[in-house]
Amino acid sequence: MRVNAMLEYQNLLKLDKEKALRKATEEFVAYYFYEVFKKMWDSIPRSGLIPETPGEKFFRDMMIYEVSRKVASQDASNLTEMILRSLHSQAYQRTR
């Protein structure tokens, strides 16, 4: 009975590590897209007719980050999976 419980604990621990690695990878991809989208937004010419307020800038940054998180978790899942596989293989080689 104790051996089975120990194996279940090890599997759960491994599962949690994988979830944590997936979450970290998604956050990395989200930050990457955030930087890309922010540069895209900054490249749009401004007329200066209406001055930008700090609140507008703060809200826009939050909006861009949330869009980036959605893209990373749904639309860019191929990129996330590719990075995740690369990290898995590196982690496996280190534990050998």
**pLDDT higher than 80, residue 76:** no
Q: Express each pLDDT in 21-32 by its tens digit.
A: 778 888 889 899
Residue 27: exposed, middle, or buried by beta-carbon count in 10 A (0-12, 13-18, 19+)?
middle
Whether 9 is in a domain gets the answer no
- Looking at residue 50, the DSSP 8-state letter turns out to be S
Closest CA to 41 of 26, 22, 20, 60: 60
Look at the chain and report how many structural domains it folds into: 1
The amino acid sitting at 5 is A
**pLDDT higher than 90, residue 15:** no
Whether 33 is in a domain gets the answer yes
Whether 14 is in a domain gets the answer no
Whether 16 is in a domain gets the answer no
Q: What is the pLDDT of residue 41?
A: 93
Q: Which of 17 and 14 is assigned the larger pLDDT?
A: 17
Whether 82 is in a domain gets the answer yes
Whether 81 is in a domain gets the answer yes
pTM attached to this predicted model: 0.70
Domain of 61? 21-95
d(CA 23, CA 16): 10
Whether 57 is in a domain gets the answer yes
Collapsed DSSP state (helix, strand, coil) of residue 52:
coil
Whether 12 is in a domain gets the answer no
The amino acid sitting at 23 is K
Q: What is the pLDDT of residue 1?
A: 44
